[in-house]
Amino acid sequence: MNINTVLDLACADDQIIKKYFSIVLQRTVLELRGISCLELESVPPPKQQIISSRSFPKHVTSRDELNDALLYHLQDAFKRLRDDKSLCGCITTFANSNYFDKNTSYYSKSSSYVFPTPTDNLLELSKAAARLTDSIYQSGVNFKKCGVGLTFLESKTTHNYDLLTDPEDIKRNESLMSSIEEVHSKFGKKTLALGASQMNQVSQDELQSIALLKSQLSSQESKDAFDQKARLLLKDRILTAEEKNELALYSDKLVAQERIESEVLSSIPTPKAFLSDKTSE
């Protein structure tokens, strides 16, 4: 077609370009001639949906593990929802097994819930996601991937609330959500999370790392070193009662369970704003 330069492209027949290439390249030719084909967007259009999903490093088989993973993805989607200053009208959860595993039949299912009133309340979103877990979970399935989708999004600034909506409820909700965001911004997203979320859990690999650390240290001289390195391994983590017991065993009773709890969690400051709001409620 003898097109070697930009000038050659600008002088080419746009209909021939469309026929042999695409309408995108045709528009490029027209734009080179000064004919506007695409409007400039000064403000990006609002998102139509927010999806957070990821494959598991190993198969998940229990309902609780699947629920934990869904709540983990929900908190990621919640952050993006708040960043966009949007409200969610519908939440969808989905999960599937490994499509490429020929030894088992493929399983995939999703379930949705429509809110009576669009919301950005993490507690309401998590309650809905927990209920939907029972709809998509099936015993005996090795789940490989799961995720959460937020749809029916609308701008928070232009939303018209119902006449029966209590303004004080809206104010309290905004105060709580803002406190959560502030804690995440200052101290990291793993500092404060829903109790059932995987964000709050110490992984088995981390527990094994602590056990290995303890085995490499002598009983009398290692106390301070163990405490310091254990805090580093468990940075931003919130321990369950079972995990506290396991850590007490790993420390060979050099550090009491209460000492592990206070020292490991000492690096996580208490968010005063959140506590005061919770107390007032």
Instruction: Tell whether 142 and 120 lie within a shared domain.
Output: yes
Greatest mean pLDDT range, 73-77, 198-202, 247-251: 73-77
Instruction: Please indicate, yes or no, if residue 170 is contained in any of the structural domains.
Output: yes
Q: What is the mean pLDDT of residues 135-142?
A: 94
Mark whether 247 and 159 lie in a shared domain: no
- 194, pLDDT greater than 70: no
Could you list the residue range(s) of the whole structural domain that residue 243 is in? Answer: 204-267
Q: Are 85 and 21 members of one domain?
A: no
**What is the model's pLDDT at position 163?**
81
pLDDT band at 228 (very low <50, low <70, confident <90, very high): low
Into how many domains does the chain fold? 3
Please give the average per-residue pLDDT across 217-246, as a whole number: 53
Whether residue 121 lies inside any domain: the answer is yes
Same domain, 148 and 259: no
Give me the pLDDT at residue 42, please: 59
Q: Are 63 and 33 in contact (CB under 8 A)?
A: no
What is the rounded average pLDDT of the residues 72-84?
Answer: 91
Name residues whose C-beta falls within 8 Å of residue 46's C-beta, 6 or more positions apart in sequence.
Answer: 84, 86, 153, 154, 155
Identity of the highest mean pLDDT range in 2-11, 114-123, 192-201: 114-123
- Two structure tokens written together for 154: 């609308």
Residue 6 within any structural domain of the chain = yes
Do 211 and 99 lie in one domain? The reply is no
Question: Could you tell me if 149 and 50 are in contact, meaning their C-beta atoms sit under 8 angstroms apart?
Answer: yes
pLDDT at 226: 55
- For residues 213 and 226, the answer to whether their CB atoms sit within 8 Å is yes
pLDDT, residue 273, reads 42
Give the Cα separation of 18 and 200 in Å (integer).
55
Within a domain: 195: no
pLDDT recorded at residue 160: 86
Residues 182 and 224 in one domain: no
Q: Is residue 279 part of a domain?
A: no
- Specify whether 114 is located in the same domain as 174: yes
Average pLDDT, the chain: 76
pLDDT tops 50 at residue 62: yes
Q: Indicate whether 113 and 69 sit together in one domain.
A: yes
Q: Which of 188, 212, 236 is the last residue of a domain?
A: 188
Work out the pLDDT band at 223, boundaries 50, 70, 90: low
Query: Average of pLDDT values for 58-87?
Result: 91
In a domain, 193, yes or no: no
* CATH (domain of 60): 3.30.1490.100
pLDDT of residue 217: 52
Are 71 and 184 within one domain?
yes
Residue 165 belongs to a domain? yes
Pair 184, 217 in one domain: no
Mean of the pLDDT values across residues 268-279? Answer: 44
Same structural domain for residues 141 and 72? Answer: yes
Sign, Cα dihedral of 184, 189, 195, 196? positive
Q: Is residue 198, in this structure, part of any structural domain at all?
A: no
Q: What is the DSSP string of 240-276?
A: -HHHHHHHHHHTTTSS-HHHHHHHHGGGS---HHHHH
Shared domain for 16 and 103, answered yes or no, is no
